[in-house]
């Protein structure tokens, strides 16, 4: 009887379902997947913080550009005299001596960011607009240009007749170019309540004086000096790269500012 020898079992072959049969994990792939997940998580967190920064700071140039490009912020609204934003009327002296007395530069920076934000958002989050009225002597008038915060219209600067340490610059935005001769210098200008001149910036040229930037927010035809009239229109957008105050001399301008003015 022949002797049969069976073939040796294939020790290399394993049943994939038997316990103990596993493949070595690919460490390199796990490492790169982990890195990718971490990077995506960091990107999501940064995106979230960036969105908060953009929507909470429309008064800064970059957020304002982003919001206007995405149409997430409306242009300044044309308010009517029957339904202006709620607010209070103040005299320049009370603003200087009561509201902003003793403010350090960083305090004024914060105040100005809120004032401009309220204007840009049409006072949607505002606790109330601050309107300024009084009698002033016009010291400076000029036309606005493309490098200014407001790019068409006029801006005039004047000193309060009753309290010379307080001055105002009043922006008069229009649809097109306007001659500065409409407002003669050296003449009085009565800034009445009908203008609804809202405060949007406070500057302190020195320890004893302040300059308040105002924009009438009830637009339309307004009577100015010598019976002349000017048609005011809300600007479609602002150039937040422009300087404050608007009547301050540019760095390349050797012309001195008005007495006690911003230098």
Kindly report, residue by residue over 119-170, the tens digit of the pLDDT.
Answer: 999 999 888 899 999 999 999 999 999 999 999 999 999 999 999 999 999 9
| Beta strand extents in the chain (DSSP E only) | 87-90, 129-132, 134-143, 153-160, 166-173, 188-191, 197-206, 209-216, 220-223, 229-232
Domain count within the chain: 2
pLDDT for the residue numbered 212: 97
State the residue range of the domain holding 46: 27-69
Report pTM.
Answer: 0.78
pLDDT for the residue numbered 44: 78
Same-domain pairing of 106 and 162: yes
To the nearest 10 degrees (0 to 180), the angle between helices 27-56 and 61-69 is 100
Does a structural domain hold residue 103?
yes
Same-domain pairing of 39 and 153: no
Mean per-residue pLDDT over the chain, rounded: 84
How far does Cα 113 stand from its chain's mean position? 7
Please say whether the beta carbons of 182 and 188 come within 8 A: no
Same-domain pairing of 226 and 150: yes
* Token couple for 53: 């920064």
């Amino acid at each position: 009887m022949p002797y049969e020898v069976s073939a040796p079992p294939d020790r290399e072959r394993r049943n994939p379902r038997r316990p103990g049969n596993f493949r070595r994990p690919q460490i390199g792939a796990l490492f790169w997947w982990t890195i990718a997940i971490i990077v995506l998580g960091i990107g999501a967190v940064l995106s979230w913080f960036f969105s908060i920064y953009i929507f909470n700071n429309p008064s800064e140039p970059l957020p304002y550009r982003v919001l206007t490009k995405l149409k997430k912020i409306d242009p300044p609204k044309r308010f009517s005299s029957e339904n202006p934003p709620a607010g209070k009327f103040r005299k320049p002296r009370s603003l200087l001596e009561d509201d902003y007395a003793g403010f350090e530069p960083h305090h004024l920076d914060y105040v100005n960011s809120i004032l401009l934000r309220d204007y840009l958002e049409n006072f949607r989050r505002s606790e109330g607009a601050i309107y300024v009225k009084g009698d002033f002597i016009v010291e400076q008038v000029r036309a606005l240009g493309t490098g200014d915060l407001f790019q068409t219209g006029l801006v005039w600067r004047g000193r309060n007749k009753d309290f010379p340490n307080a001055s105002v610059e009043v922006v008069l935005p229009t649809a097109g170019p306007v001659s500065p001769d409409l407002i003669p210098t050296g003449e009085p200008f009565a800034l009445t309540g009908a203008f609804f001149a809202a405060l949007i910036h406070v500057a302190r040229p020195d320890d004893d004086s302040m300059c308040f930037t105002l924009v009438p927010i009830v637009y339309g035809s307004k009577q100015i000096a010598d019976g002349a009239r000017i048609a005011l229109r809300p600007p479609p957008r602002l150039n937040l790269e422009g300087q404050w105050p608007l009547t301050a001399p540019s760095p390349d301008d050797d012309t001195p500012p008005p007495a006690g003015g911003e230098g």
